[in-house]
Chain A
Amino acid sequence: MSVATASVPTSRAMPTGASLRRNRRWALWASYFFLILFAIFFLAPPYYMVVTALKTDGEMAKLATNPWFIYDGVTLDQFRILLYNTDFLIFFKNTIIVTVCVVAITMVVSVLAAFALGRMRFWGSSILATGIFLTYLVPDTLLFIPMFQIVKSIGLLNSYWGMVLVYPTLTVPFCTWIMIGYFQSIPKELDEAALIDGAGHMQMLLKIFIPVALPGIIAAMIFAFTVSWAAFVYPMAFLYSSDQQVLTVGTVTSLIRGDVYKWGMLMAGALLAAAPPLVIYAFLMDYYIAGLTAGATKG
């Protein structure tokens, strides 16, 4: 906290314009200095993962050189081994199938519910809205053991379709919650105009609400995507054979054979597995952040 204050220009010292400007510039440089320190802390692990993935096994085994840098030349061997000699592509395919299905289910369910809850009051609607928020606060680690039993009883244990069934419990509540906020911010006159223009409930949703709340829809989709891409507890507990495994669990378990750690390949796998969320983040950062902050400020 002392950092924060030191870097804000103090209004106590204001004898001349020049010193005020000097104070400001000093504060700016201090801000940059500390930010760079934090950036090193935040970015060192991903940086080290990239460095490792691009190194030869030989350089890693030698233990002679500084591990933070590459001395023996950059290689894509680790990626080649990963893609040709492991089940990584199967994990990738499974994850894509699961994520696409979960995002689709989530959006249909939560947009419909948010439209109803945000616009058409009905008996119990406010209780339901509160219930949705509380459901969002239920962590996956609280219910994964009864879920195991439920998934097993309907025969979806060790099947990625079981993930399609259970992931919506993690995505739907939050997506519905933020969509309620977005829909409520649409002025009421807009639905009345549409009503007079002759739109029914479904036309109003499809032709007015969804297009107008598109930024919110994108934010919710990104959230559903990242949650279902990164989910770990459920696949860890419910999936055990490689042909059904998803990326997160597959990378940290199946790629490790016994106690042989092929770190280069592991890092290559982790990077590729993390790439889709990172790419989406890079291109849709504003929507990503809007979705992130919406939970605490909307509704």
Chain B
Amino acid sequence: MADVSLRNVVKKYDDVLAVASINLEIPNHEFVVLVGPSGCGKSTTLRMIAGLEEITDGEIEIGGSVVNDLPPKDRDIAMVFQNYALYPHMTVAENMSFGLKLRKFPKAEIKARVDNAARILDITELLERRPKQLSGGQRQRVAMGRAIVRNPKVFLFDEPLSNLDAKLRVQMRTEIKRVHQKVQTTTVYVTHDQVEAMTLADRVVVMNAGKIEQIGTPNDLYHHPATRFVAGFIGSPAMNFVPATVESNGEALRVRLSDTLSFNIPESRAARYKPHVGKQVTFGLRPEHITETRGHHNGTGQEFNAVLDVVEPMGMETMVYFRINGTELCGRVEPTAAGAANEQMALRANLDHMHLIDPATGLVL
């Protein structure tokens, strides 16, 4: 097990920049998730760590030594692929022991490791089957088993759950987390699913267009996004964004969303937003901070009325969609409080959780 560090790592395909100068330090035992939309360079980054892609520029270090020129087999890493990549002509046990056999491990040692990994993953009774005879979830376990038996310095996961159905995905997510808690191997995990990223990661790396947008714990990213991209990418449904202007109202500040609607900015934020008075900004607020007016809410909730476009009951809550100045917003309300479509409803915005974004740079102010 080991630290992994990426220093100014660049990947170009011919002249197309896939990854632009990435810096990332992953301490031993950490579970790091790279997340971002497709084509953001997260898989390329993972494959560069694995040695499956050559590095155009920069340095990758695993366990204290630079591995730039090492082939994958000498990097002491194990990888789990999206389509599992199990060898179809080998049994589960043979699949898991293939890497050890190639490294000339003694037979007894191989058997002990395979049995141990099978126990951890609860696939002992599948060891003699072939991949074709397994369900998707079972294949996923075998693919993980193949990584575990190697006892490598680093686990690499490349969207391992995206071929599973929704229910199984949740189940396997927990499984992966459990296995990591048990074996404690440094893990780099790639996914496009922000829920997966939030639930699994010690730290999340949000990538976009070949660059790292932000690195932080799941809670960090959720509460303190650094950029509009992160704010919009993390959280579901996504954060609402409305063009707005900052106005000064004596000592206090206001953010104006439309001719008829403006909110008072909480005093705690006033100092921070003061320099932006009179400027165009983007106002951001998550759906869970737009609620019904009744009930237990405290803090600086500010009420307003909106005509509902669409109402989506989800069971434990109901999503309501409405427009402010032509921009669609989403709120999250108690099912009993929700109005019907085309009716007016009183809503409360909790401004303690608001964000203001500079529309030119995309940075959160």
Contacts and interface: CB of A to CB of B under 8 A. Distances in A.
A195 B98 contact: no
A258 interface: no
B89 A197 contact: no
Contact of A197 (B51, B52, B83, B98): B98
Contacts of A203: 102
B89 A193 contact: no
Nearest to A200: B73
B73 A192 contact: no
Of A190, A195, A198, the most chain B CB neighbours within 10 A belong to A198
A276 interface: no
A259 interface: no
A196 interface: yes
Contact of A190 (B78, B85, B99, B150): B85
A198 B73 contact: yes
Nearest to B81: A189
A193 B99 CA distance: 9
B79 A198 contact: no
Given A192-B52, A196-B50, A187 B83 contact: yes
Contact of B85 (A189, A211, A214): A189
A196 B83 contact: no
Nearest to B82: A189
B118 interface: no
A199 B150 CA distance: 14
Contacts of A198: 73, 99, 102-103
Contacts of B51: 195-196
A193 B88 contact: no
B73 A208 contact: no
A76 interface: no
Contact of A193 (B71, B81, B103): B81
Contacts of B72: 192, 195-196
B304 interface: no
Contacts of A193: 79, 81, 85-87, 146
A194 B72 CA distance: 10
Nearest to B52: A192
Nearest to A188: B85
A210 to B, nearest CB: 9
Contacts of B48: none
Looking at chain A's contact residues, is the secondary structure mostly helix, strand, loop, or mixed? helix
Interface in B96-135: 98-99, 102-103
Interface in A185-225: 187, 189-190, 192-199, 203, 207-208, 211-212, 214
Nearest to B99: A197
A196 B87 contact: no
A190 B73 contact: no
A196 B71 CA distance: 8
B77 interface: yes
Of A196, A197, A214, the most chain B CB neighbours within 10 A belong to A196
B85 A197 contact: no
Contacts of A189: 81-83, 85
A127 B87 CA distance: 31
B113 to A, nearest CB: 14
Given A197-B99, A199-B102, A192 B85 contact: yes
Nearest to A199: B102
A193 B83 CA distance: 11
B134 to A, nearest CB: 16
Contacts of B79: 192-193, 196
B144 to A, nearest CB: 13
A193 B79 CA distance: 7
Contacts of A195: 51-52, 71-73
A198 B50 CA distance: 12
Interface in B61-84: 71-73, 77-79, 81-83
Interface in A140-194: 187, 189-190, 192-194
B14 to A, nearest CB: 14
A212 B73 contact: no
A294 B35 CA distance: 41
14 contacts: A187-B83, A189-B81, A192-B85, A193-B81, A195-B51, A195-B71, A196-B50, A196-B51, A196-B78, A196-B99, A198-B73, A198-B102, A207-B98, A211-B89
Interface of A: 187, 189-190, 192-199, 203, 207-208, 211-212, 214
Given A187-B83, A189-B81, A211-B87, 16 more contacts: A193-B79, A193-B85, A193-B86, A195-B72, A195-B73, A196-B50, A196-B52, A196-B72, A197-B98, A197-B102, A197-B146, A198-B73, A198-B99, A199-B73, A207-B98, A214-B89
Closest 5 CB pairs of A and B: A197-B99, A189-B85, A198-B73, A193-B85, A211-B89
